[in-house]
Structure 1
Amino acid sequence: MSLFQSSQTKNENNLNSSAHQDTVSDESVDQQSKKELNEKSIVLSTDDLSRRFANETKPVFSNVEFEVHDGECVAILGLSGAGKTTLFNVLAGLDQPDTGQIQLEKQLGYMFQKDLLMPWKRVIDNVSLPLVLKGVNKKTAHKEAKQHFPAFGLSGLEQRYPNEISGGERRRASLLRTYLTGSEILLLDEPFTGVDAVTRVDLQEWLRNLVNTKNLTLVLITHDLDEAIRLADRIYVLQIGTPSQLSESIEVNSASKKTIFTRLMDLLYKKID
């Protein structure tokens, strides 16, 4: 046997051993993640959800079933046309499913793609609106809302109008308004649409820290694969079809980012007949 052949065999053995160790490591992480997840209570679950529009012969999606555990961040990833917004509306209670049911164990608050801040009201008035609608007097509502401004990156912006702050700041204000509804589950539809790439990454990191700090549960509807991987503990894919269907969840920490990315790409572009 030549020196080259011996060296090649040795390298192949090392590669095989390394690959085996990576697989074992991934499996160990996956098992640990599942064990930790199972110990947390389920705060949102769906059973056999479907939604069909009038004059349409087939539903937009069918048999949508998933669950979210307390303190977990779950992303529902899908391409344009998969039915993400329709599913968001059903989960938010803005639309009714044709079949199935939704079980909630905690209050759910939702945020649309557009921030919907009222342009004639100052930031402090916009974000404290949920408190005022609950009957809290304006002065007390402002005081309570202002306590959260530093955590939401809004310090010093209380008296500004929406057109006087940046797109990223508007998203933060909109999220604070949702948070002040008293909801422990946040349902967000493409929360960072319309902001530049650098600001988007900053907001994603900030949101993940906020969820952990405030012990919130997050359900994220998005088309952005990188955003889903960066924010979520688990990812479901709403696969385009007639009707669209939801995949099994993928644990983000169960394998390398490259492996997760490949799995998600395969699911995203696999059309369901």
Structure 2
Amino acid sequence: MQEHRVSSWLELQEALFADSWNEALGRHRASYVFRGMPHAEHDLSTALNRRGLFVRKEKDLLRAFRKYARGTPREPLDSVWDWLALAQHHGLPTRMLDWTFSPYVALHFLTEEADLAHEDGVVWCVDYRETNRLLPRPLKTLLKREGADVFSGEMLAEVAPSISDLDRLARHPFVLFFEPPSLDARIVNQFALFSVMNGPEARLDSFLERRKQGVRRLIIPADLKWEVRDKLDQANLTERVLFPGLDGLSRWLRRYYSPRPR
């Protein structure tokens, strides 16, 4: 894993879009996903395994969620993976972590909390083609057959109809990236996807720290955060867009008109 501390907006752009040229396509099409966090010391534990709170309750949580959420989704959900995505989207502790294809959406989540403006932030950049090399053969075969780089719920259900089936695919740790169905405009506008590991207790940061290629941690100093935030606002990367509706509008207005902390 590489770690790089940026010192300016321009250096940040170079770092975020590094290695984006795809020679085969003749286009700038990066194979990276991004996760922005407001504090560089925050880890990549999931809500399920953070401090070991819910590791043994994963199946109970999802079973109860599916039982009581019946009729709530506007579209029928075909697989356990789509149900898991819906649960993650609404705050249930799961083994998933939120990521995005957009480096600017990652920067939004790095800068949205004014209370942490005095702390250095971090953007994790992960090349999913590199992490895909460690996938079990059935998952690799599925990606190749579909001509895909990340999974859908329908694809995952072919190889792993249940969470337990995924865990049994390999003894070594692996991570896959899963693009959820378009449950609402929030998922669409955030260009969102989730990471999933084989095991409720698995820690993604421990896994990524051992990778020699395809993983970067970009440290954004606290004194650069306000410039990043202001330029995102000018580019219309705000809560009003990323959280469509009155709640997002109110979040944007509250932050935008708040005085800058000393």
TM-score bracket, normalised by the shorter chain, equals: under 0.3
TM-score, L = length of structure 1: 0.26
Q: Give the structure, 1 or 2, with the largest relative contact order (CA under 8 Å, sep 6 or more).
A: 2
Q: Which of these two proteins has the greater Rg computed from alpha carbons?
A: 1
